[in-house]
Amino acid sequence: MEHGAVVDNREAYSEAIGYVLARACGFKVANVAGVILLNRQQIPPNVLAQADAETAGAPQSEFIAWFSEDLCYPDLVVQHTTGVTSQDFEDRLKARIAKDLLAREELPKLVSFDEWTLNTDRNPGNVLSASTASVALIDHGRLFMSRGWQSQALRFLMHRQAGNQMASWAELGEPGWNRKLPNMSKRALAYNGFHISFSDTGQDKVRKALSDLSLPGDEIDCVLDFLEQRLDPGHYRKAIGLIA
Contact present, 210 and 16 (Cβ < 8 Å): yes
Contact present, 19 and 66 (Cβ < 8 Å): yes
Task: Tell me how far apart the alpha carbons of residues 110 and 104 are, in angstroms, rounded to a whole number.
Answer: 10
Of residues 6 and 215, more confidently modeled: 215
* CB neighbours of residue 63 within 10 Å: 17
**Which residues, in sequence order, are CB contacts of 215 under 8 Å at separation 6+?**
13, 151, 223
Give the pLDDT confidence score for residue 5 in this predicted structure.
41
Give the pLDDT confidence score for residue 239 in this predicted structure.
92
Contact present, 16 and 139 (Cβ < 8 Å): no
Query: Distance of alpha carbon 147 from its chain centroid, rounded?
Result: 11
pLDDT tens column, 138-186: 888 889 998 889 999 999 999 888 889 999 999 999 999 999 999 999 9
Indicate the domain borders of the chain. Answer: 11-240
Give the pLDDT confidence score for residue 68 in this predicted structure.
75
Helix (H) or strand (E) holding 224: helix 217-229
Predicted TM-score (pTM) of the model is 0.86
Task: Tell me how far apart the alpha carbons of residues 145 and 178 are, in angstroms, rounded to a whole number.
Answer: 21
DSSP letter at 60 equals P
**Which residues, in sequence order, are CB contacts of 184 under 8 Å at separation 6+?**
178, 240, 241, 242
